[in-house]
Amino acid sequence: MSSKFPPPPVGLGSKVPPPPAVGSKPPPALGSKPPAPGAPPAAASSKLDSKIPPGPLGEKWTTYRSKVPLVNPANKRSIEIIVVGSGLAGASAAASLAELGYKVKCFCFQDSPRRAHSIAAQGGINAAKNYQNDGDSVFRLFYDTIKGGDYRAREANVHRLAEVSVNIIDQCVAQGVPFAREYGGLLANRSFGGTQVQRTFYAAGQTGQQLLLGAYSALQRQVGLGSVAMYARHEMLDLVMIDGKCRGIIARDLITGKLERHFGHAVLLCTGGYGNVFFLSTNAMGSNVTAAWKAHKRGAFFGNPCYTQIHPTCIPVSGDHQSKLTLMSESLRNDGRIWVPKKQNDTRDPRQIPEDERDYYLERRYPAFGNLVPRDVASRAAKERCDAGFGVGTSKMAVYLDYADAIKRYGTTKAKQLNIANPDAETVRRLGKEVVAEKYGNLFAMYEKITGENPYEVPMRIYPAVHYTMGGLWVDYELMTTVQGLYALGEANFSDHGANRLGASALMQGLADGYFVIPYTIGNYLSNEIRVKPISTDHEAFVAAERGVQETLDRMINIKGSKSVDHFHKALGKIMWNECGMARNPQGLQRAINDIRALREEFWRDVRIPGVANELNLELEKAGRVADFIELGELMCVDALQREESCGGHFREDHQTEDGEAQRHDDKFMYVAAWEHKGTGSFQLHKEPLNYEVVKPSQRSYK
C-alpha cells in the first residue's frame, strides 16, 4: 500500500448540506419509481427492482407505511413465518411479528438466543435524538451515514434508518436496557467515528449484551405465550422453493444430526455477517455465511460481497496459535489518542518517549475529526505507519492507543467537582482512573486479561482486524431478496452502510429492521398469501431439498482425507487477508481467485472429518461452513477485481489519490453489484444504479 500521506492542511471539515425542503405535491401511488436525475452510471438490471417509494426523501417511509397493504388479525393467526437467527435483528423481528399475531418459528445454532454474536458489540448504538443539543438531526445522521459509506448506499434505505433510530432508544429504555446516564438522570451520549456530534447511546462497554437481553426478553415473552416456537441448536442448510417462492427450510438438529423440514409462508434470514471468511476476525467462531450462501445458490443475489470492514482498534495478532481476534471498542477512540514514535523501529518503553517525539498521525492528517475518522480511514492510516517502519510492539504491527491525557483531563475535572484545591499529580491520576473505569472499565479489564498489561499505566497496542461485512444478500426497500418470500435483515443484507459502516450503526440497523421495518414491509407480501394453506412437508420439494442436504453431508464425511477442516480455513484466511484485505490490486486478486479454486478442489478431495453424520459432530458443522466460505471467498475476489475503484473499505492500490486516499470513479461504478449464482465458481453481475436526489457525492474529506 502506498505511503503517500503528507501532513494535511488545517481545515474545518466538509460542510453538511441543508435538508431538503418538504415537497408540497402529493406523492404518486405506492410502488412507482421516482425519476432518475440524469443518465444512470450503470445499466440497470431488469431482474432488480428496489421498490423505492416515490415522493420527497423525508416523506418516503411515512407515505409507504400509510399505503402498504395490511393483513387483518384473523388472517395473521394462520400465517407462519420462519426467522433464522436470534441476534438483535432476529430476536426483535421474531418478537415483533409474534406480537402482531403471526405464528413464528425461530432458529439458532447456539444453545440459546443469548449467545448470538450481537452480544459482543461493545461501544454503543446511534440515534438522532440530539439530547446534547449539539446540532444533530435525522438528516445529519442520514448524511453522515451516506458519506461514511463513501456514497455507495441507497438514500431511501439510509434515511429510513435515521428516522427510526429515535424510536429504537425509546423501545429499549421501555424494555429496561440500562443505558448510561448523566448525573441528573438523562441518557448519556458519546462520540464515534465519522461524526462531529455525540449521538451514541451506550451501556458501559457491553451495549450489545444489554440490547440483546432486551430483545431476548421480548422474544421469550412470545415463546411463553406460545406465539414463537424456539429451535435452539438447529442450523439451516437449505431453502425449500415451491413455484418460485420460498416456502420453508431444511434444518439440522445439531445434537442428534437429524434433518428436519419446516414450512413457512415467508422466511427471514437474520444470520449476521461473513467476516470469518478471513479465519481471523473479531466475529464469534461460530459466525458463518451458510444460511445466506444457501439462499444465494437458490436464487438470492449477493450484493457488494467485497465490501469488508477492517476495524482499527483490535488487539494485534500474537501468533499462529490464535483462532480469533479481540475487538477493543471504537468508543475508546472517543477519549484515547492514537500515536506512533516519530523514530522508526523505536524500541523504547512508550512512557519514556517524550511528547515531541510522538506522531499523533490521525490528529495530524485529519484535524477536523482527529482520532474519530471513519474506520476505513483509521485502519489504512495505521497500516501505512506500520508498513513504513513506525509500528510498535514485538511484531511491529501495532500502534499505541493512549489514555494518559484522558486520565489527566478527567482527574482535573473531578477534583474541581470535589472542591479539591491544587490536587497533586497522584490525586489527579487516581480520580481520572476512576472516571475512565466507570466509562470503559470492562474493556480495560479485558485488555489486561488478554495481554497482561495494565492499560491505565501503559498505552494499549492495537492494530486493524476484520470486524464487519457491509456486503450481504441484495434486498429491496422492503428487505426482500430476489427470491419471493425470502427476506434478509441486519448484517445479513447489504442495504444501509455502503462501502463502510460507521461505528455504532450495526446495532441500530439490526433493531431498526426487526422492530420497525419488517413488521410493516412484510405485509405487502403476506397480504397476497392469506389464501395459501400450510403446505405439507411431505411435498416433493421438501423431500428433494432434504435429500440434497443429506447427500452433501454424506459426501463430505466420506472423503476421509488427511487434512483437518481448520487447515483449509486457515489457508483460505491467509489468501483472503493477503490479497483481499486492507489493500487490493488486480494481480493479487487474480492470484487469489486461482488459489481459492485450487483450495476448493483440494478440500473436496482431502478433508478429514471424524465421526458420523447422525450425531453431534462439531467438525462436520465446521466443514459445511468452511466449504461455503471457500465459495464465497472466490466471489468476494471476483467482485473486488471488477470494481476498479477505491471506496470505503474496498481499497485498490491502483486507484488512490495523490495523498493516498480512496479514489472513486462515480461515472463507472456508482451502482450496487448484485451477483447471481450460475453454478460453482460461476457468477453473473447485475447492477442497481445508485441515484442521489438529495446528497451530492463528493470526495470524502475528514481534514
Calculate the CA 580 to chain-centre distance: 18
Query: Taking residues 460-488, what's their average pLDDT?
Result: 98
Query: Taking residues 141-167, what's their average pLDDT?
Result: 97
Residues 450 and 588 in one domain: no
> Is 336 a domain residue?
yes
pLDDT value, residue 183: 87
Using the predicted structure, report yes or no on whether residue 390 has a pLDDT greater than 60: yes
Q: pLDDT tens digits, residue range 19-30?
A: 444 333 333 333
Query: Taking residues 256-269, what's their average pLDDT?
Result: 98
Q: How confident is the model at residue 32 (pLDDT cuts 50, 70, 90)?
A: very low
pLDDT value, residue 320: 84
Q: Within a 10 A sphere around the Cβ of 585, how many other Cβ atoms?
A: 17
Give the residue among 374, 312, 311, 290 at the shortest CA–CA distance from 700: 374
pLDDT value, residue 75: 97
> Is 304 a domain residue?
no
> Is 572 a domain residue?
yes
Residues 318 and 445 in one domain: yes
Q: Are 305 and 674 in contact (CB under 8 A)?
A: no
What residue type is 588 in one-letter code?
A: G
Residues 419 and 563 in one domain: no
> Is 664 a domain residue?
yes
The grid coordinates of residue 352 equal: 519514556
Q: How many domains does the chain have?
A: 2
Using the predicted structure, report yes or no on whether residue 17 has a pLDDT greater than 90: no
Residues 546 and 461 in one domain: no
Residues 324 and 449 in one domain: yes
Using the predicted structure, report yes or no on whether residue 14 has a pLDDT greater than 60: no
pLDDT value, residue 11: 33
The one-character DSSP state at 371 is G
By the 10 Å C-beta count (0-12 exposed, 13-18 middle, 19+ buried), 434 is classed as middle
CA dist., res. 188 & res. 234, Å (int): 39
Q: What is the mean pLDDT of the chain?
A: 93
CATH of the domain at 603: 1.20.58.100
In the listed set 409, 435, 466, which residue is the last one of a domain according to the structure?
Answer: 466
Query: Taking residues 52-71, what's their average pLDDT?
Result: 97
Residues 578 and 440 in one domain: no
SS (H, E, C) 123-185: CCEECCCCCCCCCCCHHHHHHHHHHHCCCCCCHHHHHHHHHHHHHHHHHHHHHCCCCCECCCC
In the listed set 437, 466, 495, which residue is the last one of a domain according to the structure?
Answer: 466
Q: pLDDT tens digits, residue range 94-117?
A: 999 999 999 999 999 999 999 999
Residues 320 and 453 in one domain: yes
> In what helix (H) or strand (E) does residue 677 lie, and over which residues does it extend?
strand 671-677
Q: pLDDT tens digits, residue range 400-447?
A: 999 999 999 999 999 999 999 999 999 999 999 999 999 999 999 999
CA dist., res. 312 & res. 461, Å (int): 11
Using the predicted structure, report yes or no on whether residue 168 has a pLDDT greater than 80: yes
> Is 555 a domain residue?
yes
In the listed set 434, 466, 498, which residue is the last one of a domain according to the structure?
Answer: 466
Residues 349 and 443 in one domain: yes
Residues 458 and 547 in one domain: no
Using the predicted structure, report yes or no on whether residue 37 has a pLDDT greater than 50: no
Query: Taking residues 581-606, what's their average pLDDT?
Result: 98
Q: pLDDT tens digits, residue range 402-413?
A: 999 999 999 999
Residues 551 and 448 in one domain: no
Using the predicted structure, report yes or no on whether residue 229 has a pLDDT greater than 70: yes
Using the predicted structure, report yes or no on whether residue 360 has a pLDDT greater than 70: yes
CATH of the domain at 372: 3.90.700.10
Residues 564 and 453 in one domain: no
Residues 435 and 555 in one domain: no
> Is 454 a domain residue?
yes
Domain range for 382 is 311-466
pLDDT value, residue 204: 87
pLDDT value, residue 45: 77
Q: How confident is the model at residue 42 (pLDDT cuts 50, 70, 90)?
A: low
CA dist., res. 218 & res. 288, Å (int): 25
> Is 258 a domain residue?
no
> Is 702 a domain residue?
no
Q: pLDDT tens digits, residue range 508-523?
A: 999 999 999 999 999 9
